[in-house]
Amino acid sequence: MPNRDLIQVKLRPLSGDRFQPTGFPDIGTALYQRPHGADGWQDCLLLESAQSMANHLEATAWDRGNQLPVDAFAGLPYVRVVDPNGQFLASSRTEAHRLASAFVKDATFNGTDMKEVIRSRLGLRDDVPLSPRDIAGAVFALDPMCLVHGVFFAEKATVWPGQPKVARAVTAFVEAHDVKSVVSGGVKRDEVRHSVQGTGGASEGYGFVPFHRTEFVARDIEASFSIDRDQLDSYGLPLSATELLHALAQWEVRALLDRGFRPRTACDLVVSEDESVDTSLASLDELTTSVHRLTAQCASLFNTPLEVVWDRKRVKA
């Protein structure tokens, strides 16, 4: 049997019953049907996708006010990107592609192109097969969270031979079951221009502009999390490092559930009052203690956190 931590939790809107759905370009709301009962079907909605939930989980471990990792993650290495004046720009924790972000790969470290730094540290060479466990060890040393949430070194093969890829070890999504639409609307008022004849109409933001709005209600909303223990084991890291990755993944899940999350203006979700979070998931305080202990045990496996410089002029040239 696959070795997974499977956690399913019922959620509810923090206020009222309605929630704003997610939307996708050219698709709109992600409505679908699932089998229900002997022969029936039920209208459902994908409220948050796997890629969106990965962003929400990562956000729990980042202090946006100070642009630094939260205290529990402070001892872990990562790549911090600054401009030539030392102003924070991005990081391997906040960028969509993590270590393979354009801001990371197009930066320099002590004057050396980061593409070459990554190529060297991952041991990528032409005419040599990829060594997944060596790559996992090198990624762990640069930013272990890339082994939790995945990374794809997709630069052309002449830069990163083999283009190694690490899949997500944590997959999460939120579904709403037995949904019904709630259609409403409103109007953008203009107390100054009562007529938009001539220049300056609705497209420029003038005049009275009516609009429609579709929200949803659901019989239940469920968040699902899967931590792939088999994948964490497959990295071939020392036991303390594997346990650390597992604790980090659990910490993010627990933090998100404890705090609730608000993916959109009118979609603010918390755990239902009558729901007890899976007992296999320790408390946030217990997980924080585990993360600190295991981080100290893995110190010899980490690189020093890298501060790299992204220069607009250099990239443009």
Instruction: State pTM to two decimals.
Output: 0.91
Query: Does 195 have pLDDT greater than 80?
Result: no
**Helix-strand-coil percent breakdown of the chain, rounded to 5?**
30, 30, 40
Number of H helices, E strands in the chain: 9, 18
Interval 124-153 mean pLDDT: 94
- Least confident range from 128-132, 143-147, 170-174: namely 128-132
Per-residue pLDDT, 212 = 83
Residue-wise pLDDT for 9-42, tens only, equals 999 999 999 999 888 888 889 999 999 888 899 9
Q: pLDDT over 70 for what percent of the chain?
A: 95
**Residue 239, H or E segment:** helix 239-259
Arithmetic mean of pLDDT, 215-229: 95
What's residue 278's pLDDT? 61
> What's the pLDDT tens digit per position in 47-71?
999 999 999 999 999 999 999 999 9
In the numeric block, the tokens 């992600």 are attached to 30
User: Pick from 244, 261, 254: which is nearest to 283 by CA?
Assistant: 254
pLDDT tier at 129, thresholds 50, 70, 90: confident
H/E stretch holding 225:
strand 209-228
CA distance 81 to 109: 10
Q: What is the pLDDT of residue 277?
A: 67
**6 near 232, Cβ under 8 Å?**
no
What is the C-alpha to C-alpha distance for residues 105 and 96, in angstroms, rounded to an integer? 13
Question: 45-63 burial, b for 16+ CB within 10 Å, e for fewer?
Answer: bbbbeeebbbebbbebbbe
**Count, residues in the chain:** 317
> Contact 223/11 with Cβ under 8 angstroms?
yes
314's enclosing H/E stretch is: helix 312-316
Residue type, 137: G
Q: Name the E strands within 55-208.
A: 62-63, 68-69, 79-82, 88-91, 108-109, 112-113, 151-152, 165-166, 170-188
CA 133 → CA 2, 44, 142, 161, 182, distances in Å? 20, 40, 14, 16, 50
For residue 312, give the nearest of 160, 85, 117 by alpha carbon. 85
Of 260, 259, 261, 252, the closest CA to residue 281 belongs to: 252
Q: Are 144 and 294 in contact (CB under 8 A)?
A: no
State the amino acid at position 150 in one-letter form: G
Instruction: Please give the Cα distance from 173 to 223 (Å, whole number).
Output: 6
Q: What is the DSSP letter of 238?
A: -
194 pLDDT band, cuts 50/70/90, is low
Tell me the per-residue pLDDT of 65-97, one tens digit each, with 9 for 90 and over. 999 999 999 999 999 999 999 999 999 999 989
